[in-house]
A and B are shown apart, each in its own frame.
Chain A
Amino acid sequence: MSRYGMAIDTKRCVGCMDCVVACKVENQVPEGFCRDWITQALSGVYPTLSTEIRSERCNHCDRPPCVDCCPTGASHLHDRGAVVLVDAKLCIGCKACLASCPYGARFIHPQGYADKCTFCIHRVEEGLEPACVAVCPTRCMHLGDLDDPNSEVSRLLASRKSHSLLPEAGTGPRIHYLE
């Protein structure tokens, strides 16, 4: 089974939020919510400061706590790419998955079920890129199979220094930020 992940180039990302808008349009994300967002992290002490702009979303973790804690099986791993998905017809809206996610990637859809990024698996299954990847004007985002050493994502991660978010949480995030 493949294992989809993302490599996001923080040297290219300009924080234009095209990815956020594209996701909202493609997935009809209700007003006031978003499945992906832009974070600007400034670190260091003046004058040696560094800024990282990055597009964040569900990390589709290797050990997803949201799947483990779900009492109905609504949160599950998709056969293709081991992508973490939510089946709205099974979700009771207990919010255990929201509490279990160290990335705050989930929200409760106004219709009552937990919602989040799907890596646009409906597009990927048709051979398309996720909406956020497709519209990025700087081409800073890449989706691919982390288990395939020849995928673009694997090659980028092998050739560039990268980091993931909160590896300390132990969930095995599959989004990597190229430095």
Chain B
Amino acid sequence: MTEIVSTRANPLVDPSLHVWGPEIPIYLFLGGWVAGMMVLSGLFLRRGRPGGRRSVCCRLPLYGLTLLTGGMLALFLDLEHKLYVWRLYVTWQPLSPMSWGAWILVLVYPALLATALVDPPGMLVTRVPAVAAVSTWLARPGPMRFLAWTNLTLGMALGFYTGILLSALGARPLWSSALLGPLFLASGLSAAAAFAHLVAPDREESRTMARADNAFLTIELGLIALLVIGLATAGESQRAAAALVLGGPYTAVFWVLVVGLGIAVPLLIQGLAVSHRIAHTPLAPVLVLLGGLALRFVIVSAGQASHWVRTSSLAGGG
């Protein structure tokens, strides 16, 4: 039996009670979503835009710019010393994933903007004639190849970063897994494919996106299984962290919202749709997007509730 009495039992002081609110999961979700869009855009650009000028890959960067701005706003709102945010960009801390992320985002913006200009909105071309010249120059094979690889590289980096940001914080056993990076990247790819499935003007491209989403959802499901198995079979602290989603307070929301409604149900619906047994429905991609958001909320919240369990002789600590 161990009983701890601490004068610190105060949510203002004890960070395990509150560190990050809803802004961080929203930021991680939007960041991962944009990362997935960049990877998909990169793949489409490499393959020469199968949908032609109507290809969804020409639209994703514009959506990406908007979503990323929303994510950055959420991150900014979370900062407690907002006026000092510029300090991120006068240094580079190689051991800090957040520093890496800040600099990756600096590169992501121009890459998204340049990709969006490959096929700019007609209204913009009419109002700013120079945009047409830029677009023509970018549409040449050399710049297209460069944009494709840039989108692929930065998209992968951004997607991994959203997971590594958490997994580098070893004080929270739930996050202390290298699988979080690939999991958040797979989830971001899935969200991007689901979104492209929803908005693609070309029907064949939309179906391709549904098939791709099924693959990403399957990978995501596998990574979640590995994450939970890895935690549940590790040391006492990791087992206690796994218990949060295996019978603990996050069990229902994790298995019902994230795994059930966010992955398994859309996988089933889209599986039936791509095999022509039922018609394609917007329900599946909407569930995928909501499931991706729920995944970030659960992982961020449950991670903060997990902590090191003292296993040596005397009780207490942490």
Which chain A residues have a beta carbon within 8 Å of chain B's beta carbons? 17, 20, 32-34, 37-45, 50, 52, 54, 56, 65, 68-74, 89-96, 98-104, 106-108, 111-113, 163, 165-170, 177, 179
Contact = CB atoms under 8 A, between A and B. Distances in A.
Contact of A65 (B10, B20, B170, B235): B170
Interface in B90-140: 91, 93, 95-99, 101-102
Contacts of B6: 37-40, 56
Contacts of A70: 93, 96
Contacts of A102: 170-171, 307-308, 318
Contacts of A20: 7
Contact of A93 (B3, B79, B315): B79
A117 to B, nearest CB: 12
B318 A104 contact: yes
A107 B12 contact: yes
Contact of A69 (B13, B16, B82, B169): B169
Given A65-B171, A107-B13, A99 B19 contact: yes
Q: Which of A50, A56, A102 has the most B CB atoms < 10 Å from its CB?
A: A102
B135 to A, nearest CB: 36
B294 to A, nearest CB: 20
Contacts, number: 181
Contacts of B3: 41-43
Contacts of A74: 87
4 smallest CB-CB distances across A and B, nearest first, come from A93-B80, A165-B317, A93-B81, A41-B316
User: At the interface, is chain B mostly helix, strand, loop or mixed?
Assistant: loop
22 contacts: A37-B6, A37-B8, A37-B13, A39-B4, A39-B8, A40-B6, A41-B5, A43-B2, A43-B315, A52-B314, A70-B93, A72-B91, A72-B93, A92-B84, A93-B79, A99-B20, A99-B171, A99-B172, A104-B318, A112-B82, A112-B84, A166-B317
Given A99-B304, A104-B16, A113 B102 contact: no
A73 B84 CA distance: 13
Contact of A71 (B10, B19, B82, B98): B98
B240 to A, nearest CB: 12
Contact of A32 (B13, B165, B315): B13
B91 A73 contact: yes
Q: How many B residues touch the partner, as a band?
A: 35 or more
A45 B6 CA distance: 20
Contacts of A98: 15, 19
Nearest to B96: A71
A152 to B, nearest CB: 23
Contacts of A111: 81
Contacts of A41: 2-5, 314-316
A38 B7 contact: yes
Contacts of A65: 169-171
Contacts of A54: 316
Nearest to B86: A92
Interface string B299-318: 00000100110111111111
A165 B8 CA distance: 16
Contacts of A104: 8, 13-16, 318
Contacts of A72: 84, 87-88, 91, 93, 99
B168 interface: yes
Nearest to B14: A104
Given A38-B7, A42-B315, A104-B8, A99 B169 contact: yes
A103 B7 contact: no
A78 B168 CA distance: 23
Given A71-B93, A92-B87, A96-B165, 7 more contacts: A39-B6, A42-B315, A43-B3, A56-B6, A73-B91, A95-B20, A168-B308
Nearest to A49: B1
A30 B307 CA distance: 26
Nearest to A164: B317
Contacts of B101: 71
B316 A112 contact: no
